């Protein structure tokens, strides 16, 4: 009796029927629900896996780009160093060339100055010689004018005329 009372009470209790409905619901629809939940979880897992793969691919690309950027930077630094060295070498060569040209120009100017000085000295000496010769001629004229008498003059002319045929043969 107690069993009947207990079993009669169980059938009329709403919690029992709720539990039965819950169990029947999962028995009939559990596979579909499970399949749908598993499908959603699989889709989510696939999406996460794709995102991880995409992130890994992007990371590899970023690392490749970083390596390329570092290589390009090193190349640019090497080219810059080479340009600086070439510029320094060219600057040294140009400085040496300019120094040599300046020395050559200074030597040319010095030689030109020496040549001008020598020409001025020669001109001065020539002028001095000419003036000296003029003075000597003038002094000789004056001396001859004072000392030369008409008789001595006639004797000198005759002696010059007598030596003329011999001088013409010698020439």
Residue 33 CB contacts under 8 Å (≥ 6 apart), including other chains: 26
3-state secondary structure of 149: coil
pTM of the predicted structure, to 2 decimals: 0.40
Which own/partner contact pairs does 138-146 have at CB distance under 8 Å and 24+ positions apart?
A: none
Residue with tokens 């810059």: 80
Please give the pLDDT value at position 132.
86
For 16-71, what is each residue's pLDDT tens digit?
989 998 888 888 887 888 888 899 999 999 999 999 999 999 999 999 999 999 99
What average pLDDT does the structure give for the chain?
A: 87
Distance between CA atoms of residues 87 and 115, nearest Å? 41
Q: Flag whether pLDDT at 95 surpasses 80.
A: yes
For 139-163, what is each residue's pLDDT tens digit?
887 877 777 778 877 888 888 888 8
Give me 138's structure tokens: 């003038």
Query: What are the extents of the domains in the chain?
Result: 2-170
3-state secondary structure of 49: helix
């Amino acid at each position: 009796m107690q069993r009947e009372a207990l079993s009669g009470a169980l059938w009329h209790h709403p919690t029992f029927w709720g539990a039965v409905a819950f169990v029947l619901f999962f028995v009939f629809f559990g596979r579909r629900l499970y399949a749908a939940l598993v499908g959603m979880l699989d889709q989510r897992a696939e999406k996460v896996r794709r995102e991880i793969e995409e992130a890994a691919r992007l990371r590899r690309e970023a690392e490749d780009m970083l390596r390329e950027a570092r290589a390009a930077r090193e190349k640019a630094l090497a080219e810059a160093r080479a340009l600086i060295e070439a510029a320094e070498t060219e600057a040294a060569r140009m400085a040496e060339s300019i120094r040599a040209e300046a020395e050559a120009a200074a030597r040319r100017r010095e030689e030109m100055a020496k040549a001008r000085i020598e020409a001025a000295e020669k001109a001065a000496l020539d002028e001095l010689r000419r003036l000296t010769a003029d003075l000597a001629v003038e002094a000789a004229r004056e001396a001859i004018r004072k000392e030369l008498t008409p008789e001595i003059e006639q004797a000198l002319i005759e002696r010059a005329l007598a030596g003329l045929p011999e001088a013409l043969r010698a020439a």
